[in-house]
Structure 1
Amino acid sequence: MPETLPDAPEKEPEVEPAVEPERSPRPATTPQPFDPPWPDGRPEPQPKAAGQ
């Protein structure tokens, strides 16, 4: 049990800092997947709108 205690606190600090930086890029990654479809679809609808 004493070995698990030191292991838990050691993993906790590592997971805590990793969760914080991950949360920042996560919100940016969520809009990123949505951004690619926009710019990719923008050039397509743009020429269509110009042709219209």
Structure 2
Amino acid sequence: MNWALEHGLIVNAVAPDALRLAPPLIVSEQEIDEAVSILAKIPADLPND
């Protein structure tokens, strides 16, 4: 998803209604909170890219 990448998050859209996340093995709670915050801002009407 280009939108997520532009906002600093690498995701893989594996289906129209599913995302695959692959965080590093060592990730802080702050980094997880930041990722969730970015995901929460993805527009619902965003076209598949």
The alignment's TM-score, normalised by the length of structure 2, stands at 0.35
More strand, by proportion:
2
Q: Which has the larger radius of gyration?
A: 1
The alignment's TM-score, normalised by the length of structure 1, stands at 0.33
Q: Relative contact order, CA 8 A, sep 6+: which one is greater?
A: 2
